[in-house]
Amino acid sequence: MQLKNYFKNGKAYVWPETFAYIKAKEIDPNAFANIVDNDEVTIIIDQTKYDKKNVIEVMKDWKIITLDIKFPITTCGVTAIIATALAKEKIPIMPIASYTRDHFLIRSKYINKAVKVFDKLGIKTEK
């Protein structure tokens, strides 16, 4: 199936929380996501709930748009199409793929503009 067909009847939602994007000392079990690589730990967490003692660096005021569309794991180009459309509107993103869902961290100040971009792609977005 072509991506435009997934998008055509697709849905997304904006999380009500506002998140912090943190370079952390250790993982946080309350985080939306913990990303651990050989060099650092990154946590994405409701910005009212993080432990300041765990912070190395922090960027606040992120919203998350989650695609409520289940793509086969072999699907190519989802992030590319959405990232390109957002980039044309000068909206920076931090994409995260989970097993069956894609999430886009978007600065709060761009969220309304981003929702319009998703809508133009055919993805109805609930706030």
Q: Which domains does the chain have, with CATH numbers?
A: 3-126 (3.30.2130.10)
Looking at residue 98, what is its pLDDT?
A: 87
DSSP state of 119: H
69 Cβ contact list (under 8 Å, min separation 6): 6, 7, 10, 11, 12, 101, 102, 123
The one-digit pLDDT tens for each residue of the chain (127 residues) are 577 788 888 899 999 999 999 999 999 999 999 999 999 999 999 999 999 999 999 999 999 999 998 877 788 899 999 999 999 999 999 999 888 889 999 999 999 999 999 999 999 999 8
Tokens 């000392």 locate to 25
